[in-house]
Chain A
Amino acid sequence: MTSKSTEFKIYYRLGIAPDVGPLELETSSYHGIAIGANVAAWGQSWSAGLLTRTRKPFFVDPMTYVFAQDPRVLLKEDDLRQSFARLVDEYDGILSAIAGKKPLRPTHFWKAGRLASAGHDFVDAVLTFEANGLEKGESTQLRISDYLEMIGEKTEVTKLVPEFFVPPYFHASSLDDDWYKISVAMAKYAVKQRKDDKVVPVVCLSDHVLKDENAMSQLVVDYGDFDSVLMWIADFDETRATVPQLVGYGRLVKRLAAGGVVPMALYGGFFALTLATAGLGGLSSGVCYAESKSVSRQATGGGAPIRYYVPWAHTKVVKANATTFFTANPREYCKCSICKAALDSGTRTGIQSRIVRAFAQLDRASSGRHFMRIRSGEAQLYGGASKTSSIQSLARDRRVGERTGATTLGIPIGPLIKWIDALEQI
């Protein structure tokens, strides 16, 4: 493994409304924004407003895989979820007839071993949406800009152009699956259609590929002409994965990077970040959530409890466990300015009471901002580190966990142990 000096790119996925605050306030802590096409279709003005204000690079995840899953994942009380209904209007074509009723089948796009015209049309529709889908939102921004100019405030509105285009993609259980061939063909067709733009395909596969060296080799061949790919191993949760799975993931990164393709993780967390040393170029995730994803899980519309990112454990835990741990180990309390401000040093109560109050009052925005700052520091530390120094750093973190009795206090150190083990084998 060699250390890489290029910037490790962190993208945050725009998901729930409370993400907007941290994304606007912590712009120096990340590279860009990932927007699900359904979110872009449903919240055009909202998304465009955020992108205009932050001036961050972005890409649109076309979310096409979801239409090949059980249609129930798209439904809410028997109706298409609003955001997907809007997206179906945008993509049109075959989806208008089947979305929410039947899943897409490979035969809709694949005829006689090649991409049929319906497949070409679908790629065109998806790329057109990525290029222009935020236009309506942009026009709202322009109107706001006109108004601000009228009242004497200068604003600058630039056209929202994605950093790169993401061709339609589908989940494949193996490389023999027709959905794999269709995804590759659609990616290659997308390159022809967007000659002047960067195209970054998503490789969405089951975890079988992590133990299949031949499949890894084939991936390098099939995607070798792309500068970069977004990897999504469905259901791969780096905190729960076994050591062989983690090693397989690292080897896949290494193989792609060695083949000249910079892999990025479409959903990734801290372990993915440590793979910068193996050639991973970036990752996307939610703001302190969504570091892994199943292809078949139904969207629930948020409501997850607020989690707090424990810096030394590189893990998110519920507030109750964070409070328990830090009241028992006040010296480990985070020193970032968000957490320090929350500690309310003006009060005269003892440190334990102040920590309890800080966590009781911790909201999603503060938790998100803390996470983004820590993640940015991690990207700097691990993004350019050698494998040896990454392992040493994780070993120090592990000792913190052991010294503080973290497991009893509700902070798991099992993932740290597995990550060290895996990194040693990659």
Chain B
Amino acid sequence: MAERSDPSRETQVTWRVRRYLIDIGYRVRSEIPFMSKRIDLVGVIPRSGTVVAIEAKVKDWRQGLQQALPYRLCSHKTYLAISTRYLHRVDRGMFGKFGVGLIAVDGSARVEISARTSPLTYPAYLETVRSQVLRRTKT
């Protein structure tokens, strides 16, 4: 039986990762358009300009990884966030192969596998995504 804290909806996964990123100093926006896609969450550290892109899923890690892979073009680091309950199903080797990180989410979020810095980042894409986060989070 699932723990009460296990997220059962994608929005819960997203919300908990968002809180985690804000706690460690990121400015965060959701649903950032990138080419023909929408990134679930993008975090930017204002001082350094570092960009992380997150795809959130409850359990379908394969589809999540597939969706996350193109985010390496527009971010420094890319993560898939998934419910802790389904973490055992994940093929960790695939994450290492593509340099995508993994975040486990239950009541809170924690990094299970650290992402490598993307070798595919395209400056124009990065800037577009980064500016959308910084522009939209201005108060």
Name the residue of chain A whose CB is nearest to the CB of B121: A356
- A359 CB, nearest partner CB in chain B, Å: 9
CA distance A407 to B94 in the complex (A): 13
- B94 CB, nearest partner CB in chain A, Å: 7
Stretch in A148-156, A318-326, A339-347 touching the partner: A318-326
CA distance A10 to B121 in the complex (A): 39
- Measured between beta carbons, the chain B residues less than 8 angstroms from A408 are 62, 65-66, 69, 94
B120, CB-defined interface residue at 8 Å: yes
Q: Which of B34, B35, B62, B94 has the most CB of A within 10 A?
A: B35
Name the residue of chain A whose CB is nearest to the CB of B35: A320
The one of A318, A327, A328, A352 in contact with B36, judged by C-beta atoms closer than 8 angstroms, is A318
B1, CB-defined interface residue at 8 Å: no
Name the residue of chain B whose CB is nearest to the CB of A410: B66
CA distance A321 to B37 in the complex (A): 10
Number of A residues, CB within 8 Å of B? 19
CA distance A350 to B120 in the complex (A): 10
Name the residue of chain B whose CB is nearest to the CB of A321: B70
A360, CB-defined interface residue at 8 Å: yes
Q: Which range holds the interface residue count of chain B?
A: 10 to 19
Q: Which of A86-105 contact B (CB under 8 A)?
A: none
The one of B35, B69, B70, B119 in contact with A305, judged by C-beta atoms closer than 8 angstroms, is B35
- Measured between beta carbons, the chain A residues less than 8 angstroms from B125 are 360
Interface class of chain B by DSSP: helix
Q: Which of B66-87 contact A (CB under 8 A)?
A: 66, 69-70, 72-73
B24, CB-defined interface residue at 8 Å: no
The one of A320, A328, A350 in contact with B73, judged by C-beta atoms closer than 8 angstroms, is A320
B70 touches A320 (CB 8 A): yes
A410 touches B120 (CB 8 A): no
A409, CB-defined interface residue at 8 Å: yes
Q: Which of B114-135 contact A (CB under 8 A)?
A: 119-120, 122, 124-125
- Measured between beta carbons, the chain A residues less than 8 angstroms from B66 are 407-410
- A288 CB, nearest partner CB in chain B, Å: 14
CA distance A352 to B120 in the complex (A): 7
Known: A305-B36, A320-B37. A410 touches B69 (CB 8 A): yes
Q: Which of A370-426 contact B (CB under 8 A)?
A: 407-410
- Measured between beta carbons, the chain B residues less than 8 angstroms from A407 are 66
Known: A409-B66, A409-B69. A352 touches B119 (CB 8 A): yes
CA distance A301 to B73 in the complex (A): 29
A357, CB-defined interface residue at 8 Å: yes
Known: A320-B73, A323-B73. A356 touches B122 (CB 8 A): yes
- B96 CB, nearest partner CB in chain A, Å: 14
- Measured between beta carbons, the chain A residues less than 8 angstroms from B65 are 408
- Measured between beta carbons, the chain A residues less than 8 angstroms from B70 are 320-321, 323-324, 410
Name the residue of chain A whose CB is nearest to the CB of B37: A320
B-contact bits for A238-249, CB 8 A (1 contact / 0 none): 000000000000
CA distance A409 to B69 in the complex (A): 7
Name the residue of chain B whose CB is nearest to the CB of A307: B36
- Measured between beta carbons, the chain A residues less than 8 angstroms from B124 are 360
Q: Which of A307-339 contact B (CB under 8 A)?
A: 318-321, 323-324, 327-328
Q: Which of B24-38 contact A (CB under 8 A)?
A: 34-37
Q: Which of B36, B37, B62, B65 has the most CB of A within 10 A?
A: B36
Name the residue of chain A whose CB is nearest to the CB of B94: A408
CA distance A357 to B125 in the complex (A): 11
Q: Which of B90-121 contact A (CB under 8 A)?
A: 94, 98, 119-120
Known: A305-B36, A319-B35. A324 touches B122 (CB 8 A): no
- A60 CB, nearest partner CB in chain B, Å: 33
- Measured between beta carbons, the chain A residues less than 8 angstroms from B72 are 324
Question: Known pairs A356-B73, A410-B70. 11 more at Cβ < 8 A?
Answer: A318-B35, A318-B37, A320-B37, A320-B73, A328-B98, A353-B120, A356-B120, A356-B122, A360-B124, A408-B65, A409-B69
User: Which B residues contact A (CB, under 8 angstroms)?
Assistant: 34-37, 62, 65-66, 69-70, 72-73, 94, 98, 119-120, 122, 124-125
User: Which A residues contact B (CB, under 8 angstroms)?
Assistant: 305, 318-321, 323-324, 327-328, 350, 352-353, 356-357, 360, 407-410
Q: List 12 A-B contacts (CB under 8 A).
A: A318-B35, A320-B34, A320-B37, A320-B70, A353-B119, A360-B73, A360-B124, A408-B62, A409-B66, A410-B66, A410-B69, A410-B70
